[in-house]
Amino acid sequence: MKTLISVCSILLLMLLASPEANSQTTNSTVQTVSFGVSRPIKPILHAVENLQQSQGSITSSEINDLQSQLKQQSSKVTVSAMNTPSSSAHMDLLSVLESKQPIANSKNSVVLTVTE
Amino acid sequence: MKNSFATIHQAPRVKIPTAIVLFLLVISTFAELRAQGYTNVATQSVTIEVKPISRISVAGNPSQLIIKDEARGNEQSLISDDNTKYSLSTNVGNMKIVASINDRMPAGTKLMIRLASSKAASEGVVDLSNAMTPVNVVTGIGKGIESNQTISYTFAANAEVQDLPATSRTITLTLTN
């Protein structure tokens, strides 16, 4: 049995080493392509703007609703804000959202954080 | 009285120099050896064959294709990379390059490829998004070499695709007949 296996092994090696093994009409190569989508959250700022324009203030529950909307579009986004910003703080709120930087407005007691 | 024996004429004895004898002996030996050489012929049979060989290679991988711009209406967002090259050599005529992807692209996205060719016919921009089975990208490749031909990838995402974590696909380029 061992002799048979040895003979078969030698024949297989000879076959692999034969010139035919080096002959080929087909040859392949591969590339890896990485991709993704990471859009800015600017498009969803209209929801914030509309909310403030219509009510002039944002409550905690509304912030939670807003965050739910944001998370539907990007799982990486978190928003936190408290109290009621005045109309003067409205632009600050938008700029914060656009710049994605936290802001603290002690006068109006607005603390908003957007992270992505 | 003269001695009668003295009158006997003897043939003059010719002395052949030893050097000449040796020279003639050597010449005759060489002649014999040479004659033997002409009658001794050896033959060999040499078999030659050129096997069909085809090679294709690429240089590196494309940069990450990340769409970061804001969606505009229903327009697709596109991003491209054309920084990688391919080279090939073949001694077989009428070859082609086919491409395939290892997995389908995510919903709302597309991955397209274009291979330039200076000697053959490029199929232009080819959608690989669902090309699990190979599709033609270059055809009519003749015998010879093509070096440093441009590979272009384009990734497209529909407007509704807001966030897609970076992922990857393996593209296989095959030179075949």
Please compute Rg for chain B using Cα positions: 42
Say whether pLDDT at A54 is over 50: no
Q: Which domain holds residue B75?
A: 54-176
Q: Does A25 lie at the interface with B, CB-CB under 8 angstroms?
A: yes
Residues A45-49: contacts with CB under 8 Å, at least 24 apart: A45/A94, A45/A97, A45/A98, A48/A93, A48/A94, A48/A97, A49/A90, A49/A94
What are the residues whose beta carbons fall under 8 Å from the beta carbon of B156, sequence distance 6 or more? B76, B77, B78, B109, B110, B111, B112
Residue B130 lies in a domain: yes
**Average pLDDT for residues A1-23, to the nearest whole number?**
50
pLDDT-based confidence at residue B17 (cuts at 50, 70, 90): confident
Domain definitions of chain A by residue range:
42-115
- Is B42 part of any domain? no
- Lowest-confidence range among A74-88, A97-111, B56-70, B133-147? A97-111
> Which residue out of B64, B162, B173, B174 would a mutagenesis test of the A interface target, given it has the greatest number of A Cβ atoms within 10 Å?
B162
Q: Cβ of A61 under 8 Å from any chain B Cβ?
A: no
User: Higher confidence at residue B77 or residue A77?
Assistant: B77
Domain contains B4: no
Domain contains B144? yes
- What are the helix (H) ranges across A56-89? 60-73
B128-170 per-position pLDDT tens digit: 999 999 999 999 999 999 999 999 999 999 988 888 999 999 9
pLDDT mean over B84-98: 96
Q: What is the pLDDT of residue B169?
A: 97
pLDDT value of position B162: 81
Q: State residue A37 phi and psi, 5-degree precision.
A: -130, 130
- Interval B107-117 mean pLDDT: 97
Respond yes or no on whether ipTM tops 0.90.
no
CB contact under 8 A, A33 and B65: yes
A76 and chain B in contact, CB less than 8 A: yes
Tell me the count of A-B CB pairs closer than 8 A.
128
CATH number of the domain enclosing B77: 2.60.40
Number of domains observed in the structure of chain B: 1
What is the C-alpha to C-alpha distance for residues A86 and A38, in angstroms, rounded to an integer? 32
